[in-house]
Structure 1
Amino acid sequence: MENKIPRLFSPNAWICAVFSHNFTVSQRITDHIKEYKCTRCGQEMTDTAQGFIAKLTPKFRETNAYIAKIHKRRRSRKVFAENDFSRAS
């Protein structure tokens, strides 16, 4: 999928302004937090801690990367513990 840069006067941005965005999930951070990208204009959004959707700023991008790192580490520990427990039985 090509990277679309949001522009002020693109026809797709006008379509999004009139008919709303067409967001698809671009990245899963955790089971509850996702990043979304509009297929027409390229605008990026993310889930917030309060459950709302907000514009993906550099601060949110950094926070999501850190949360993804923690989530990945916890999942790997959980899988390791489950495998270790199943071998002991």
Structure 2
Amino acid sequence: MDHMSIKTTFSLGKLYCNTFGHRYRVTKKVTSHINEYQCMLCNCEATNDDKGKLTQLTPQLKDINETLVSFHKKKKHAF
């Protein structure tokens, strides 16, 4: 019988974030009011939602942000 081991990783950063909250820094400026953030301790990613609050950065939101960057650049160069 094969022995399967479950690998768990303990991170002080994750423990700190669960207790006190994340320490985000801006990693990408999408538009003047939408940014992408990454926690300096646990490396989780977040972005602004449509109401301006921080939400977890999903692949779908990442694609939306890329599209916004594209539109924003086109608009900026049109003027």
TM range (shorter): 0.7 to 0.9
> How much does 1:8 deviate?
5.8
Q: Distance in 1 between matches of 2:20 and 2:9?
A: 16
Q: Give the length in aligned residue pairs.
A: 72
**1:41 aligned counterpart, secondary structure:** coil
Match of 1:40 in 2: 41
Cα 1:8–1:75, aligned 2, differ >3 Å: closer, same or farther?
farther
Q: Distance in 2 between matches of 1:20 and 1:31?
A: 25
* 1:16 lines up with 2:17 in the alignment: yes
How does the TM-score come out when normalised to structure 2? 0.85
What letter matches 1:47 in structure 2? N
Structure 1: gaps spanning 5 or more residues: 1-6, 79-89
* 1:73 lines up with 2:68 in the alignment: no
> How much does 1:68 deviate?
0.5
User: Deviating runs (4+, > 3 A) in structure 1?
Assistant: none
Structure 2: gaps spanning 5 or more residues: 1-7
Q: Distance in 2 between matches of 1:18 and 1:8?
A: 17
How does the TM-score come out when normalised to structure 1? 0.76
> How much does 1:52 deviate?
1.4
Match of 1:3 in 2: none
Match of 1:30 in 2: 31
